[in-house]
Amino acid sequence: MRVRDLPLADDLVAHYEAAGITDLYPPQAAAVDAGITRGENVVVAVPTASGKTFIAELAMLTSGGPALYIVPLRALAREKYETFSDLPGVEVGISTGDLDSTAELGAYDVVVATAEKVDSAIRSGASWVDDLACVVVDEVHLLGSKGRGPTLEVTMATLGRRAPDVQIVALSATVDNPDEIADWLGAELVRSRWRPVDLRTGVYAEGRVDFDDGSTLPVAVDTDGDGDGDEDAGTAATVELVRGAIDDGGQCLAFVRSRREAETLAARLAEAGVGAAAAADELGEEVRDAGRADTGRRLAECVEGGVAFHHAGLRAEHRALVENAFRDRALKCICATPTLAAGVNVPARRVVIRDQQRYTGSGMEWLPVLEVHQMCGRAGRPHLDPYGEAVLVADDEDGRAELEDRYVGAEPEAVESQLADREALRTHVLAIVASGFADSQGGILDLLDATFYAHDRPEEGLAGLVESVVDDLVEWEMLAAQNGEGAETLTATTLGEAVSRQYIAPQTGARVVSGIETMRGMETVTGLTALEVVCDTPDMHGTYLGNRERAAMYQFARRHAAELTTDMGATDRFERWLEAVKTARILLEWADGASTDALVEEYRIGPGDLESRVERAQWLLGAAAAVADVVGGDGSAFRSVRERLAPDVSDG
C-alpha cells in the first residue's frame, strides 16, 4: 500500500514522500485495513520503531475535526509536538504543565498533552474537549502503571461521556493482552511482531553472547578493566560490548540500575576512549553553558569523549541536548536508567542491559519483562542499521540460563488496571462528583463501569471501595451527602470543588486544611511554614534523606519547631516528614537566592530534581492559597513564598 493511495491532501502526500515515506509498513497497512482512516477505533500493538506515529498521524489527519494526542511523559510531548508541527497546514498546540490551568486549546488542529493535563481540562469543563474528533493514546499499556494508570483509565472513560462519537486510537508496545484492551475500547486490534530492522536478543556470559537466532558473538573481556583489578566482570563486559558496536559503525545504549551507575559507566567509557570517534567538543561547551553544577560538568567531560549519561536528575535542557546529539550521531553511546526506554525516541545499533534488577526501597527486584523488552526494542535504527542487537549481561552460565528464561524467551506481562488503589480512587471519585458527571454512588459506579478495571474484573466490582472512599471525602468535608426519597445525593462542597479544580489529591487537600488550621494558632508563620505544609503531601516528590543528613535535618527541625505545623514528637510518619522538611529547606534556600551549584553540593540533589520540585512547589503553593481562601484561612504565606520561587531554575 502506497501513501498516494491514502485519503490525504496532496501537500501531505508530498511531505511524506519528501521524507522518504512512499510505501506503508505492514502494520501501517493493517491499520488502514482496520479502519484507521474511516473513523474506526483501533488498538495497535506492535514493536518499537514499527511506524506507530505514522498510524496516529493518519487517524488525526483524516478524522475531520480536532485531534488530541495523549502522551505519558512531558519529554515525549515535546518530541511529538515538534514532529506534528512539521505537517503542512496543521496547527499544533501543546499542554503539559500548569495542572490547574483551564486555558482553551480549541484553535488547534492537533493538541499534544499529558493524561494529567487532559484530566484537568475535563474537570475544568474545557469546551475544546467536546469538539474532539479523534483521540490517540500513546503507550496505552501504561494503564497498568500504579502512578499514571488510573488517571489514564478514568480520563478515557470520561472522554467517552464528553465526546461520545470520538475516534479512539490506542498505541501500545507488545503486551500479553492487547485483545482485552481492544475489546474494552470497542476497537479493531492490529497486532504484529514485524519490525523494519531485524532484532536479535542474547545474553552475555563468560566471553560470549548467545543470541536467540542461534548465532554467537565472542567478546574478549579483561575482567580487571584497566589493570587495577577494581572493575567487576559485568562492567568490563559492558565496556567491550559498547566498544564493539561503535567500532562496527553503530551507536549504543547501555542501561544500568541507578543514576550513579549511569554516570560512573559513562565516565569509564569516555576514559577508555570508546566514543572518541564522535566530534563532541562543541556539544561539551553547550552542556557547560546549560548549567555549571557538578552534574553538568561531569556530563560535559563525558560528551567530549563521545559518551553521555541520561537520567531524571539532569536538567531538562541537558537531557534534550543529549537526546538530540545522539539522534544527530554526535554521540556514540548513552548510559541511562531504564526510564529512557519508555520515553523519547533514541534508537541505537546495540542495546546493552547490564542490570536487570533495581532497588525498590525494600530490596532488589527483577525488572518487568515488558520494561526489558522496551529497552531491547530500542536496538536497530531504521535506514541506518542493517540489524539491531540487544544483549543482557549475566554473571555466569547459570545467570545466562536465568536471563534467557526470564526475558529472552518470555512474553511480556498482561496489562492490569490499578484503579483500585485507594488514593487514586479518592481523587477520581471527587472529580466525578465535582465535575457534575454523577451525584450518587450509583452514578459514580455507572461511570466507572466504563473503565478498564470494570471490563477486566467485572466480578470484583468497586462498590465497597467506592463507598469507603466516599466516606473519607465526606469526613474531609469535600463531599456532602444528603438523604432524599430513599437515595443519598452527593455534592461537592466548596472545598471539594477547589481541591478538584486545583488538581491536587484529596489527601493533599486534607493535609493543607490541617496545616492552615494549625497556622491560625501559630505566633510565627514564615515561608518555611508554608513550604513544610505543601512538601508534606503525596503530591510533592520525596527527597532522599541520607544517613549522614538525618541528624543535621533533625536538629534543623528542632531549631525551627515554632515555624512548623507538625509536632515531631507526635507524628507517626517521622521519616517521611523529615524528608518533607528537607525538601522545604531546599526550596526556601532557593527562594532566598541560593544557586543550583550550592544546593546540589549541600543536599545531594540533582539539578533536574531541583527543577521538578520548584515547579511542583509553585503549583502546590498556589493550590494551598486557593484552599485557604475557601476555608477562611490566610493564604498570604503561600502566595508570598510562591512569588519568591523563580519560574525557571538556572545555575546562576
Task: State the DSSP string of 85-134.
Answer: HTSTT--EEEE-S-TT-----TT-SEEEEEHHHHHHHHHTT-GGGGG-SE
Of 85, 22, 94, which is closest to residue 57 (Cα–Cα)? Answer: 85
Q: What is the pLDDT of residues 527-540, one digit of tens each?
A: 999 999 999 999 99
Cα–Cα distance between 627 and 475 in angstroms, integer? 17
| Rounded alpha-carbon distances, angstroms, from residue 90 to 53, 243, 244, 470 | 15, 43, 43, 44
The answer to whether residue 197 sits within a structural domain is no
Answer yes or no: do 300 and 154 share one domain: no
Contacts of residue 418, Cβ cutoff 8 Å, sequence gap at least 6: 143, 144, 145, 146, 149, 150, 153, 424
Describe the strand order of the beta sheet including 67-71 as a list of residue ranges. Answer: 92-95, 110-114, 67-71, 134-137, 167-172, 42-45, 188-191
Do residue 530 and residue 459 come from a single domain?
no
Give the mean model confidence (pLDDT) for residues 278-288. 79
For residue 218, the SS3 value is strand
What pLDDT is stored for residue 227 in this prediction?
43
Q: What is the pLDDT of residues 431-440, one digit of tens each?
A: 999 999 999 9
How much is the pLDDT for 41?
97
pTM greater than the 0.85 cutoff: yes
Contact status, residue 537 vs residue 510, Cβ threshold 8 Å: no
Residue 194: which region, alpha, beta or left (left: phi > 0; alpha: psi -120 to 50)? Answer: beta
The 10s digit of each residue's pLDDT in 196-244 is 999 999 999 999 999 999 999 999 987 654 444 457 889 999 999 999 9
Tell me: do 77 and 109 sit in the same domain: yes
How far apart, in whole angstroms, are the C-alpha atoms of residue 126 and residue 103?
8
Same domain (yes/no): 70, 149: yes
Q: Classify residue 609: in a domain, yes or no.
A: yes
Residue 2, sorted as left (phi over 0), alpha (psi -120 to 50) or beta, turns out to be: beta
If residue 291 lies in a helix (H) or strand (E), which one and from where to where?
A: none
Q: Identify which of 4-13, 170-179, 569-578 has the greatest average pLDDT.
A: 4-13
Task: Based on the fold, state whether residues 217 and 260 are members of the same structural domain.
Answer: yes
- Same domain, yes or no, for 25 and 97? yes
Other C-beta atoms lying within 10 Å of the C-beta of residue 130 = 12
Residues 403, 269 share a domain: yes
Query: Where are any strands of DSSP class E within 299-450?
Result: 307-310, 333-336, 350-353, 357-359, 364-366, 388-393
The answer to whether residue 403 is domain-embedded is yes
CATH number at residue 611: 1.10.3380.30
Listed residue (213, 216, 272) closest to 247, CA to CA: 272
Specify whether 576 is located in the same domain as 456: no
Per-residue pLDDT, 339? 75
DSSP helix/strand/coil, 26 = helix
Of 379, 408, 437, the residue that ends a domain is 408
Helix (H) or strand (E) holding 154: helix 149-162
Give counts: helices (H), strands (E), the chain: 26, 19
In a domain, 521, yes or no: yes
Domain tally, the chain: 4
Among 330, 624, 336, residue whose Cα is nearest residue 504:
624
Does residue 146 belong to any structural domain of this protein? yes
Distance CA 218, CA 226 (A): 20
Domain shared by 139 and 221, yes or no: no
Which of 467, 499, 531 is at the close of a domain? 499
Give the chain's length.
652
Q: CA 593 to CA 650: how far, in whole Å?
A: 11
Question: pLDDT tens for residues 80-129?
Answer: 999 999 999 999 999 876 554 545 677 899 999 999 999 988 888 888 88
Between CA 91 and CA 207 the distance in angstroms is 54
Residue 637 · residue 623 · CB < 8 Å: no
Q: Which long-range contacts (CB under 8 A, 24 or more apart) does 397-401 make?
A: 397/205, 397/206, 399/203, 399/205, 400/203, 400/204, 400/205, 400/206, 400/210
CATH number of the domain encompassing residue 430: 1.10.10.10
pLDDT at 438: 93
Q: How far is CA 42 from CA 52, 129, 133, 181, in A?
A: 12, 20, 14, 10
In a shared domain, residues 563 and 594? yes
304: cell is 567530549
- As a whole number of angstroms, the distance between CA 419 and CA 221 comes to 47
User: 309 and 229 share a domain?
Assistant: yes
The answer to whether position 415 is within a domain reads no
In a domain, 199, yes or no: no
Proportion of the chain in helix, strand, coil states, percent, rounded to 5: 50, 15, 40
Residue 219: half-sphere exposure toward Cβ, Cα within 13 Å: 30
Amino acid making up residue 124: S
What does the pLDDT look like over 381-423, one tens digit per residue? Answer: 888 888 999 999 999 999 999 999 999 989 999 999 999 999 9
Task: Give the domain extent around 533.
Answer: 504-644
pLDDT digits (tens, 9 = 90+) for 545-555: 888 889 999 99
Residue 413 lies in a domain: no
> Which of the listed residues 408, 431, 447 is the one where a domain comes to its end?
408
CATH of the domain at 123: 3.40.50.300
> Does one domain contain both 315 and 402?
yes
> β-strands 388-393, 67-71: how paired?
unpaired
Residue 238, phi then psi, degrees to nearest 5: -60, -45
